[in-house]
Amino acid sequence: MLSFPSSGCCRVSSTARAFQFQTSTSPSLFFTATNYKFRFRIARAVSGFADDSVSDGEQKSNYAGMQLEEIVDNRIKSGKLRLDNWITSRINGISRARVQSSIKAGLVHVNGRVVDKVSFNVKAGDEIKCTIAELQELRAVPENIPLDIVYEDEHVLVINKPAHMVVHPAPGNTSGTLVNGIINHCKLPNVEFSKEEALSDTEDSDDEFNSFFSQSSSCEGLQSRLSVASIRPGIVHRLDKGTSGLLVVAKDEHSHMKLSEQFKLRTIKRIYVSLTTGVPTPVAGRVEVPIGRDPNNRIRMTAVTGPVNSRKARHAASRYKVIEVLAGGSCALVEWKLETGRTHQIRAHARYLGVPLLGDEVYGGTKSMVFSLLRPRTPPSLHSEIIKMVSKLDRPCLHALTLGFQHPHTGKQVHFSCEPPIDFDEILSQLRKIGSERVPSN
């Protein structure tokens, strides 16, 4: 029988591999969530990063004021070559969005003339002069917030985020966020991004975040033009407030660029587990339905089955597999693998399949719905326990179980796993009391 440890244990390996649900734990790989210092030492030993050093040239953590003066090489391939792409290729470790804001700020000259169009086409022989814009100060205050650190080295930080914690400061959540805790623990780079790129291919981004971190200086002159950058301090991807699980943070701009590139290329390995109301049909499949903002509810996304242009929907694809049928078919333990990472992708696709996540009040997995499904299939002797369980549902039952990526400095494939937290495990145990049936894997 599948069993999650109630302590929310984690493990790390130096080679990416598919996660295998465990029926027992190995003392050498699993540790209690509170003893992260011991777990961190083991993580370094297993991954082989303890004594690694990178000698590909020192990466600057802040490129502000850096100047580039160069003539476009005559050997470039014929065809269109964008100005932003060319400059990015000439400065090792800088993000394209950082270059784009410098161009838009009027800090780039082509053949002596200011060019503020990022898609301007350069050609062989063009003389390019560029000054890199400064970054705005991070509007977040360090706070002494306990962090469940799964792995850390000088370049990256992997954290097991608890449910109910917001990742980034935003209107209405200016303190108590993961970023507040991280900048108290270590220094984060102010990494620039464009609005189009802002967490555009990651799970659970939102408009509040984009608007909050897209402000520019009101000063005049060069200082103003050097301060138009938008900021995403170290955060490469996000998890929704109610979602628990693994999240990677970049500790320098080079790492941020490399990790963001992996998300864009969809080479990051991510597996989520959820509890659903009902059982998906078929029990395994692929959902490829665009996702857009619900016109009737701004905080909700929706799967768009008709024409997508007018709805501003974006391509979204998820693979799912039922691991276990629970409570006589009332619920299911479902594994999800993301091919894309749109806002609330799993939650919207689960709703599209007719099986919203337990506890997801926004997408239909309400307490009343859960109780109506469970009551007819539950022995009277368990009704009081079911009522108590349902009353405790206060978040979507969704957990980021595994995370794998290529380390931005060593190039090694690393893989992390972290079991669901106690609240998820307790609900799963209650549902198993009513009934449990493992679904054979194909």
Distance CA(428)–CA(80), nearest Å, equals: 55
Catalytic residue among 148, 153, 240, 294: 240
Distance CA(274)–CA(355), nearest Å, equals: 11
352-to-167, 267, 281, 300 alpha-carbon distances in Å? 26, 26, 11, 13
49-to-15, 156, 159, 166, 409 alpha-carbon distances in Å? 13, 11, 17, 30, 10
* All residues at 6 or more sequence positions from 192 whose CB lies less than 8 Å from its CB, including other chains: 95, 97, 98, 101, 133, 135, 229, 230, 231, 232
Look up 240 and say whether it is catalytic.
yes
Taking phi over 0 as left and psi of -120 to 50 as alpha, with beta for the rest, 245 belongs to left
The SS3 call for residue 11 is strand
Q: What is the DSSP string of 354-369?
A: T-PBTT-TTTT--HHH
3-state secondary structure 322-352: EEEEEHHHCEEEEEEEECCCCCCHHHHHHHH
Look at the alpha carbons of 133, 136, 142, 147 in this order and tell me if their dihedral is positive or negative. Answer: negative
425-to-46, 255, 416 alpha-carbon distances in Å? 27, 34, 19
The type of residue at 218 is: S
Helix axes 367-374, 383-392, angle to 10 degrees: 160
Q: Is the peptide bond before 380 cis (omega within 30 degrees of 0)?
A: no
Q: What is the rounded end-to-end Cα distance, in angstroms, of the chain?
A: 18
Nearest to 164 by CA among 10, 394, 365: 394
Whether the CB-CB separation of 202 and 263 falls below 8 Å is answered with yes
Distance CA(19)–CA(270), nearest Å, equals: 10
Degrees (nearest 5) of the Cα angle 287, 292, 294? 115
328-to-201, 276, 417, 436, 437 alpha-carbon distances in Å? 37, 13, 29, 7, 8
**Where in the sequence numbering do the catalytic residues fall?**
240
